[in-house]
Amino acid sequence: MLVGLGSVEQQEYWNEELQIFEYTQGDQSILLLLYGLATLFITGLVFWIWRGTLKSAYHAECMAKAGKHINTFTEDLKELLDSNLYRLLMTPSMFFITVLTILPLVFMICMAFTNYSKIGNHLVLFDWVGLDNFRTLFDSNSVLGSTFWRVLGWTLVWAFFATFTNYFAGMILAIVINRKETKFKGFWRFCFVLPCAVPMFVSLLIMRTMLQPEGAVNVLLRQLGFIAEGTSLPFFTDPTWARVTVILINIWVGVPYTLLQLTGVLQNIPTDLYEAATVDGANSVQTFFRITLPYMFYVTTPYLIATFAGNVNNFNVIYLLSGGDPVTDLASTAGSTDLLVTWLYKLTIDKQYYNVGAVVGILTFIILAIGSLLTYRRSKSYREEGGF
């Protein structure tokens, strides 16, 4: 029933003898889709085993015709601890990867091609709709389409600034602390790394409380006379303010980790390079752009790619800090600071638009792949231009 995903609805009838309503078991499309995919996986596994047995039988036949020794069952088992050890160790891992990663991923992808959502009451029985969900999401004239393009634009802006503001802010701090003239280096590192000791979600919730209209920051500013009585700074009520706020707070939360990463890189740059640059008459700016920055890009490219991907899916900072607010369009399902991942959460958990959520998940994966590739190529070209 994978092709049709079921068609029999749950029926209600009156039991005259028991004087109660009873229900007949109808089709559940979600189970049919899951079991259907699992059946396809099992069928593929059986085919693979069947192919392996044929190859093994043919190999044994060739060995017998050549008069060579054919392993007994016991000898085959012993080989699992010797030449075939990789099969013994990799089989359990591949089983769990298939069941817990590949199958759910294929299940989510298939869901994007159905009408499984609260719209039209398709939460129990739903059908295949092809590319209709993708057309709806790419149509800028529809509510979901306009929301998608707006959220996508902000997600890319957020990922760029959240990645490179943290990177360069942490780099500047690491360079300043690592200078020969800086005293008490350990103390300064301790001060800046101290926020790492506090769980991030605790820091975000505290900052969210402090920046509310009646939070500590606005109350203090009123008492000091910087803002008028009865007014407050719109940290989370104005779209522009909210976006700038989450970027700045993300810098405060993320810089300590970047500082730790880049401090180790700075301490491993060969001093001979700086001495040669000094002899050649290079100033501090030229030394930074010709030695320090290319070297750090060369070493931290994987870190930049991982950070960019993490920021595209940075659910905690946005959801715990602003909750995606403010909502400026009541018809929209996303706020001004919602990322694709937080919008996906709202679409599935709050709105029960599972089909659209699956499409957003697929597009998020594509964006991550393209963004990571572009980041890698850009940093690679920069390293080549810098001479590394």
| Residues 126/114, Cβ–Cβ less than 8 Å | yes
**What does the pLDDT profile of the chain (388 residues) look like in tens digits?**
899 898 888 777 777 787 787 777 789 999 999 999 999 999 999 999 999 999 999 999 999 999 998 888 898 888 888 888 898 899 999 999 999 999 999 999 999 999 999 988 888 899 999 999 999 999 988 888 999 999 999 999 999 999 999 999 999 999 889 888 888 888 888 888 888 888 888 989 999 999 999 999 999 999 999 999 889 999 999 999 999 999 999 998 889 889 988 888 888 888 888 889 888 888 888 888 888 888 888 888 888 888 888 898 899 999 999 999 898 877 788 999 999 999 999 999 989 999 999 999 999 988 888 877 776 676 666 556 654 4
| Residues 136/356, Cβ–Cβ less than 8 Å | yes
Q: What is the pTM of this model?
A: 0.84
Tell me the Cα Rg of the chain.
29
Q: Which amino acid is at 63?
A: M
Q: Under DSSP, is residue 28 helix (H, G, I), strand (E, B) or coil?
A: coil
Residues 314 and 157: their CA atoms lie apart, in Å, by: 13
